[in-house]
A and B are shown apart, each in its own frame.
Chain A
Amino acid sequence: MTEGFYVVLSNNKIAKDVYELIVEGDVTGISAPGQFVNIKLDGFYLRRPISICDYSAPDERGVGKITLIYKVVGHGTESLSAYLPGKRLDMLCGLGNGYDMSKSGDKPLLIGGGVGVPPLYALCKKLKEQGKKPTVIIGFNTKDEVFYENEFSGISRVIVTTADGSYGLKGFVTDAMKDVDYTYFYTCGPMPMFRAIEKTALTSGQYSFEERMGCGFGACMGCSCKTKYKNKRICKDGPVLEREEIIW
């Protein structure tokens, strides 16, 4: 983990209520895709956790670019959406365990729902670099909410689903899963989607969870959950948990 200031390079709307924020700063704290940052916003006490969507390799000063994608859901994210290029952001960077790529097999399946899609992007790129053949399924409620289809299609096979059928395949991500041949899965998204995947998935896999956080780095026990083996903190021992350890 690193703590410090990051400079906003861009902050643009890419779908309904969804923004892509690119910042520049110390990327040396990032060790795996699926980790997150915790952002201090002017006028708010607790930091806001947001997944790292993409990150570049550090230059000789340790500096690189980080892409974050967030949805405006409350006062904090609303204020963030007004941040302009040049603004300095106080961030803790490289929090959590991230996805374990060593288990992916040759044909990993990446399944994202809504604003659970972002962390899968860096994961997809890294898996690709390792010579794997990932398939990506991203699900949304409706056409206005769809984002990052083009970014993913540049590096892998991608299937888009919408619940109302206004774009891509009509239905849920689990409807699309049935026709894919995969060796392992990685997912991030809302709980109802997780429950459906848990019923559908044929292989082992990893889920990335959310919880309200006090600190984001393991100090307060605000985000604890029980697993089959021991108590874990979503922020430090997670956010990614393995299928086999999760208690539903």
Chain B
Amino acid sequence: MVNLKVDLCGITLDNPVIPASGTFGYGYEFAEYYDINILGSLSFKGTTLEPRFGNPTPRIAECPSGMLNAVGLQNPGVEEVISTELKKLSECFFKPVMANVSGFSVSDYAGTCERISGCKEVGWIEVNISCPNVHNGGMSFGTVPSSAAEVTRAVRRVTDKPIIMKLSPNVTDIAEIARACESEGADGISLINTLLGMRIDLKKGKPVLANKTGGYSGPSVLPVAIAMVYKVYEAVKIPVVGMGGISSAEDVLEFMYAGASAVEVGAANLIDPFACKKIIEDLPRVMEKYGINDLNNIIGGAH
């Protein structure tokens, strides 16, 4: 018997696999297809203080081994998320969930976190300071160490639950941002959010996406993500949640060797609604293949 249990900021996960924010709805959509309680946890769609429709369509473009999205944080706002979406989720998922939160000002972040922190279903708060698809928001907080620190400080003041700061790869030195978050009391770091990208429609000579740019993710970003997880693991003492291009159990092990205590699976859920289930079921086989009997033994093992 191999051990898949890992610890994330004091909460035990049955396995390290967590569907990534924005690619798993509010979870209950997937409960139609399989019992989602096999997941380690799940991170639901980015939530903001006010409802948002998001960007105009087209919001999606294809790339070699990946995709661009420019959804622009469409969500019904924190009150509706709590009263409707979380309620539906709590009827089919019985583990602590990761609340993904975004904002356009420091007080937005604090307000949303304070509200959602009061929900008993919420285990961790994942603070997205890295969304490339909204103007004057998201990513601008995650690209400057002092702003990242400011958001962390504000959120820390309003909640006792573990805060995981979600970082952008679109920066010069991701380790510096991670340290800034750690120094203001973050309990964990998750990375990477999407890379800034663009495709041009040759028939029109114009960008495919209505928003022009979008966030690039999928298997092709995996090596970029692994290198960044490796770097952040060395820079901070708090746990790291790794993501970017994961679509197999082997990919999960790579991230854990690089330093991830848990992982998130994003775009793969869109291509195959059963992706997380297949990865979790395949993990024991792949662990045995590589002579691993406890995942905890390999976290950061590549250093």
Binds A, one of B24-32, B96-104, B165-173, B176-184: B24-32
- The answer to whether A45 touches B74 (Cβ under 8 A) is no
Contact with A along B27-59 (1 / 0, CB 8 A): 001101100000000000100000001100111
A226 at the A/B interface (Cβ < 8 Å)?
A: yes
Task: Please tell me if A44 contacts chain B, counting CB pairs below 8 Å.
Answer: yes
- Docked CA distance A92–B32 (Å): 14
> Contacts A45-B63, A45-B218, A46-B271 given: A220-B22 contact, CB under 8 Å?
yes
A218 on interface, CB distance cutoff 8 Å:
yes
The segment from B65-73, B123-131, B224-232, B256-264 that touches chain A is: B65-73
**CB within 8 Å of B: which of A1-34?**
1, 3
Whether A226 lies near B53 (C-beta < 8 A) is yes
B92 at the A/B interface (Cβ < 8 Å)? Answer: no
Name the contact of B54 in the complex, choosing from A3, A44, A45, A224 (C-beta under 8 A).
A224
Among B62, B64, B71, B74, the most chain A Cβ lie within 10 Å of the Cβ of B62
In the complex, identify which listed stretch (A98-106, A183-191, A193-201, A207-215) lies at the interface while the others stay far away.
A207-215
Which of B53, B69, B218 is close to A220, meaning CB atoms less than 8 Å apart? B69
Q: Is the CB of B25 within 8 A of A212?
A: no
| B292 interface hit (Cβ, 8 Å) | no
Tell me if B's interface is mostly helix, strand, loop or mixed. loop
Contact A45 B64 (CB under 8 A): yes
User: Hey, which chain A residues are within 8 Å of B25, CB to CB?
Assistant: 218-220
A55 contacts B by Cβ under 8 Å? no
Taking the closest CB of chain B, its distance from the CB of A238, in whole angstroms, is 12
Interface size class of B (residues with CB under 8 A): 35 or more
Whether B274 pairs with A3 at a CB distance below 8 angstroms is yes
Say yes or no for A225: interface residue by CB 8 A criterion. yes
Cβ contact within 8 Å between A214 and B69: yes
Pairwise interchain contact A46-B62, C-beta atoms closer than 8 A: yes
Contacts of A221 in B (CB 8 A): 22, 45, 54, 59, 71, 74
A40 adjacent to B271 (CB under 8 Å): yes
Least CB distance from A37 to B in Å reads: 14
Do residues A215 and B274 form an inter-chain contact, with CB atoms below 8 A?
no
- Hey, which chain A residues are within 8 Å of B23, CB to CB? 215, 219-220
Q: Which of B33, B60, B65 contacts A214 (CB 8 A)?
A: B60
- Kindly list chain B residues whose C-beta atoms are within 8 Å of the C-beta of A168: none
Q: How far is the CA of A231 from the CA of B218 in the complex (A)?
A: 27
Give A contacts to B, CB under 8 Å. Answer: 1, 3, 40, 44-47, 92, 211-215, 217-226, 231, 236
Residue ranges of B at the interface with A (Cβ–Cβ < 8 Å): 22-25, 29-30, 32-33, 45, 53-54, 57-67, 69, 71, 74, 208, 218-219, 267, 269-274
**28 residue pairs A–B, Cβ–Cβ below 8 Å:** A3-B272, A3-B274, A40-B271, A45-B67, A45-B218, A45-B271, A46-B271, A211-B58, A212-B57, A212-B60, A212-B208, A215-B270, A215-B273, A217-B29, A218-B25, A219-B23, A220-B22, A220-B69, A220-B71, A221-B45, A222-B60, A223-B59, A224-B53, A224-B71, A224-B74, A225-B57, A231-B74, A236-B29
